[in-house]
Amino acid sequence: MYCICCNQNNVIPHEYNRKEVHNLISEEDILWKNEKSQDGKNRTINNDMVSGGIIQIIEAGYGSKHDGDQIILAICDECISNKLDEGTLLYFGNYMGFYDTEEEIEKSKKTYRRRKNLDNLI
């Protein structure tokens, strides 16, 4: 899928990357997959592995002109790093709990405040 920042087709569903699957299912089918698993959970691109970045379905909340819309969005790892460094993306945490994220969160807040303050000066 194409990255929303650099427009490169470099964010690939992991399942599509596997040679044995590549000819059986299209990337399009993986992106719009919405099925129930045996344990009753919804299976979408949100809970599939992705190579080279993030692919997620984002939901527009109340107040957007896209109220209720669900959009499939991809961003590559390199753009994620760049946008975190400049404060366009904000670090929230690590849901897997691999490490203490407090330092990364504080760094992101500092970058965000600095960028907002510079914008206010201009």
**Residue 15, Cα to own-chain centre: how many angstroms?**
17
Tens of pLDDT, residues 91-106: 999 988 888 899 999 9
Please answer whether residues 56 and 44 qualify as being in contact, where contact means their C-beta atoms are separated by less than 8 angstroms. no
State how far the Cα of 69 lies from the Cα of 83, in Å rounded to an integer.
24
Burial class (CB in 10 A: 0-12, 13-18, 19+), 13: buried
What's the whole-number mean pLDDT along residues 18-30? 75
Tens of pLDDT, residues 106-120: 999 999 999 988 777
Q: What is the pTM of this model?
A: 0.84
Length of the chain (residues): 122
Domain ranges of the chain: 1-76, 90-122
Residue 117 tokens, joined: 């303050």
- Which string of b and e fits 49-67 if b means at least 16 CB within 10 Å? ebebbebeeeeeeeeeeee
State how far the Cα of 3 lies from the Cα of 73, in Å rounded to an integer.
8
